[in-house]
């Protein structure tokens, strides 16, 4: 079933928050609000689930830790045993303190890059992708509410409802 | 809303203090050398927890933080223990000085006169080189300066907060902010030097440049844990209905972040010494690793792994129960950390932890609890006239 997205452009954060609460109570399918700054209480008002990005970050971090350990085990213990700090122990667990700084940095590197790249992919912000600009000022001082409607008639109804709630103008 | 010190809380405090007195007496009869180190350890530990209350308060003022207004009475009450801790510290230091004249000083090796006499067989060139800093008159002066500064600022901040309750207005807040900024500068210096004086000078030959930060980082977690536990306790009792999960989240974040910071400093200190392998530096860790191995690893796992795993998720930080459990674990963990800083330097390989050590700690905890809860009962739990009160009541993250 093809759904239709309609947008309402608002000029005030309190108005848009109130509109979200009212329209959701009237069973309109409000899917998103684009805002230049975080609005307190907007997440619960929209009924958004908590982001799973932090779980991804954790997994990327663990991957980084494992890769760093593997790399240093191969380089400094297996392939070319190193005498670290005058302690010729040649065992991974005994030389571990020397490996921790590198492991930490590599964990942070993988977690941070993985998180940022995942975010860009999920948000469809990639080089060469035409950005979807609904209003020229939507990242400046305006707020955009998105409603998903099943039919054309419902879309027109949603646009009228947004105008009634104080939208500056609406568009498809 | 007011907290009233219940008879039950008073009873528990007195029982704990009783256990502490019996333990101290028993430990002096059975192993008096470690008894001195137990006294110094617990006095120092609870003194710095009280000091961290004032530090936390000053930090909130200086940063103009709004969220913490709803819990500011708790760090204020913690600072009330400082005068008692100062008296205890003076008793421990001078008691040790007097008792030590018979058969050598128990706590501070550098107090021996022979070390500074080139004619004596005991002459120690390294310690003699440090005598410009480590000598009795200067040490006592420094100790008195610390207590004067800490107690003075604590009492001033408390007085301003109580007057604000009665008179209102922004003047008290602005004054408290200026005073806090001055305190933070003095705290930065005195927290380092007091850690050198009270703790690092026990291992007189050894030194570590980041010892002051390490001590401060560890003990700030204990202070934050006390704030977290008290908040959780009062919320559970229904005395702080204005404290929401958002405030708990912020306290939880503080505990989590400083646990990681402590681990970073612990590891930075350990790794540089381990890597360089210079004999006069590694002896410090050799003693602790060879003879205190269980505690050495317990210290690391309790204070790093527990808060790291448990407090990592957002939901865990927002619950009173997790803050209570993790807070208690961290207080015990950093008590062990302080034990490892002080006891090995005093008694070397001949140590033990039995009911007397735990009893001494419980006695100090009882006294701390009694003094703090008494101070908490003296003023309303909410600072009604604080200029940032509304921001804190509507805090949302």
A77 and A103, same domain (yes or no): yes
Cβ pair A84:B275 closer than 8 A: yes
A76 and A113, same domain (yes or no): yes
Q: Which of A54, A87, A100 sits opposite B271 (nearest CB)?
A: A100
Give the A-side interface with B, CB within 8 Å: 40-41, 50, 54, 58, 84-87, 97-98, 100-101
CB atoms < 10 A from the CB of B292, how many?
20
Share of chain B above pLDDT 90, in %: 77
Q: Which of B68, B65, B46, B50 is nearest to B154 (CA)?
A: B50
ipTM of the complex: 0.82
- Judged against a pLDDT cut of 70, whether residue A1 lies above it is answered with no
Residue with tokens 């110094």: B40
The predicted structure's pLDDT at residue B232: 95
The predicted structure's pLDDT at residue B352: 84
A62 and A110, same domain (yes or no): yes
Buried b vs exposed e over B88-97: b needs ≥16 C-beta within 10 Å? bbeebbeebb
Confidence grade of residue A125 (pLDDT, cut at 50, 70, 90): confident
The predicted structure's pLDDT at residue B104: 57
Residue A3 · residue A17 · CB < 8 Å: no
Instruction: Provide the CATH number for the domain around residue A31.
Output: 3.30.70.260
The predicted structure's pLDDT at residue A56: 94
Token pair listed for B128: 């003699």
- Model confidence pLDDT, tens digit, residues A133-169: 888 888 899 999 999 988 888 889 999 999 999 899 9
For residue A85, tell me if it sits in a domain: yes
Q: Which of A50, A85, A100 sits opposite B277 (nearest CB)?
A: A85
Q: Which of B275, B314, B396 sits opposite A98 (nearest CB)?
A: B275
- Judged against a pLDDT cut of 80, whether residue A43 lies above it is answered with yes
- Model confidence pLDDT, tens digit, residues A92-109: 888 899 999 999 999 999
A54 interaction partners in chain B (CB closer than 8 Å): 314
Cβ pair A87:B277 closer than 8 A: yes
A58 interaction partners in chain B (CB closer than 8 Å): 312
Measured in angstroms, the CA of A40 and the nearest CA of chain B are apart by 7
Measured in angstroms, the CA of A22 and the nearest CA of chain B are apart by 22
Domain that holds residue A76: 53-122
Chain B residue with minimal CA distance to A58? B312
The predicted structure's pLDDT at residue B39: 94
For residue A9, tell me if it sits in a domain: yes
**Residue pairs spanning A and B at CB distance below 8 A:** 22
Interval A4-23 mean pLDDT: 92
DSSP 3-state of A30:
strand
Q: In what order do the strands lie in the sheet with A30-34?
A: A30-34, A143-149, A4-10, A169-171
Q: Which of A58, A84, A97 sits opposite B270 (nearest CB)?
A: A97
B314 interaction partners in chain A (CB closer than 8 Å): 50, 54
A139 or A56: which leads in pLDDT: A56
- Model confidence pLDDT, tens digit, residues B93-146: 999 888 876 555 788 888 888 888 888 888 888 888 898 998 889 999 999 999
Number of domains chain A contains = 2
Q: Which of A54, A87, A100 sits opposite B267 (nearest CB)?
A: A100
For residue A112, tell me if it sits in a domain: yes
Candidate from A49-63, A98-112, A117-131, B209-223 with smallest mean pLDDT: A117-131
Chain B residue with minimal CA distance to A55? B313
For residue A47, tell me if it sits in a domain: no
Alpha-carbon distance values, B325 to B261, B295, B328 (Å): 20, 20, 5
Q: Is the whole model's pTM more than 0.80, yes or no?
A: yes
The predicted structure's pLDDT at residue B169: 86
Chain A residue with minimal CA distance to B269? A97
| Mean per-residue pLDDT of chain A | 91
Q: Which of A41, A50, A85 sits opposite B276 (nearest CB)?
A: A85
Distance CA B99, CA B114 (A): 17
For residue A86, tell me if it sits in a domain: yes
A43 or B223: which leads in pLDDT: B223
User: What's A168's DSSP letter?
Assistant: S
Cβ pair B274:A97 closer than 8 A: yes
Alpha-carbon distance values, B314 to B161, B271, B318, B363 (Å): 32, 31, 7, 35
Spans of all domains in chain B: 7-376
Cβ pair A84:B396 closer than 8 A: no
Alpha-carbon distance values, B115 to B17, B127, B140 (Å): 39, 7, 19
Measured in angstroms, the CA of B270 and the nearest CA of chain A are apart by 9
A contact test, residue of B268, B274, B300 with most A CBs within 10 A: B274
- What residues in chain B have per-residue pLDDT under 70? 101-104
């Amino acid at each position: 079933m093809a759904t239709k997205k309609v947008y309402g452009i608002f000029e005030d954060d309190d108005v848009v928050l109130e509109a979200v609460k009212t329209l959701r109570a009237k069973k309109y399918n409000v899917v998103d609000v684009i805002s230049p700054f975080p609005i307190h209480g907007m997440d619960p008002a929209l009924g958004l689930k908590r982001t799973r990005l932090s779980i991804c970050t954790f997994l990327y971090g663990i991957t980084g830790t494992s890769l760093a350990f593997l790399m240093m085990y191969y380089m400094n213990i297996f392939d070319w045993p190193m005498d670290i700090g005058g302690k010729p122990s040649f065992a991974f667990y005994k030389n571990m303190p020397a490996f921790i700084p590198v492991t930490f940095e590599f964990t942070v590197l993988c977690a941070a890059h993985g998180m940022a790249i995942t975010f860009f992919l999920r948000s469809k912000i990639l080089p060469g992708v035409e950005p979807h600009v609904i209003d020229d000022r939507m990242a400046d001082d305006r707020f955009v509410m998105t409603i998903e409607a099943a039919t054309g008639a419902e879309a027109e109804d949603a646009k009228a409802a947004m105008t009634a709630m104080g939208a500056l103008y609406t568009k498809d | 809303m007011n907290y009233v010190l219940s008879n039950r809380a008073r009873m528990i405090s007195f029982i704990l203090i009783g256990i502490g007195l019996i333990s101290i007496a028993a430990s002096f009869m059975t192993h008096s050398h470690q008894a001195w180190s137990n006294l110094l350890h617990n006095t120092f530990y609870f003194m710095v927890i009280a000091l961290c209350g004032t530090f936390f308060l000053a930090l909130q003022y200086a940063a103009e933080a709004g969220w913490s207004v709803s819990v500011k009475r708790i760090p204020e009450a913690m600072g009330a223990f400082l005068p008692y801790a100062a008296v205890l510290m003076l008793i421990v230091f001078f008691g040790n000085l007097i008792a030590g004249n018979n058969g050598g000083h128990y706590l501070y090796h550098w107090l021996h006169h022979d070390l500074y006499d080139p004619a004596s067989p005991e002459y120690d060139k390294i310690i003699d080189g440090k005598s410009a800093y480590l000598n009795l008159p200067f040490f006592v002066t420094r100790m008195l300066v610390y207590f004067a500064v800490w107690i003075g600022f604590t009492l001033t901040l408390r007085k301003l907060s109580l007057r604000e309750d009665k008179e209102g207005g922004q003047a008290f807040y602005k004054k408290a902010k200026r005073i806090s900024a001055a305190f933070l500068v003095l705290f930065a210096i005195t927290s380092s030097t007091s850690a050198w004086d009270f703790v690092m000078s026990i291992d007189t030959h050894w030194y570590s440049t980041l010892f002051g930060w390490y001590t401060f980082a560890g003990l700030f977690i204990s202070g934050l844990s006390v704030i977290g536990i008290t908040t959780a306790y009062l919320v559970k009792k229904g005395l702080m209905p204005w404290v929401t999960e958002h405030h708990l989240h912020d306290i939880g974040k503080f505990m989590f972040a400083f646990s990681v910071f402590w681990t970073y400093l612990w590891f930075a200190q350990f790794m540089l010494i381990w890597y360089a392998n210079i004999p006069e530096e590694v002896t410090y860790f050799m003693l602790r690793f060879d003879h205190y191995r269980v505690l050495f690893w317990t210290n690391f796992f309790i204070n790093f792994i527990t808060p790291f795993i448990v407090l990592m998720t957002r939901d865990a930080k927002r619950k009173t129960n997790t803050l209570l459990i993790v807070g208690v674990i961290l207080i015990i963990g950093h008590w062990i950390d302080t034990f490892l800083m002080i006891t090995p330097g005093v008694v070397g390989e001949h140590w033990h932890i039995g009911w007397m050590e735990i009893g001494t700690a419980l006695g100090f905890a009882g006294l701390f609890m009694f003094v703090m809860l008494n101070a908490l009962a003296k003023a309303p739990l909410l600072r009604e006239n604080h200029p940032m009160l509304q921001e804190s009541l509507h805090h949302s993250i």
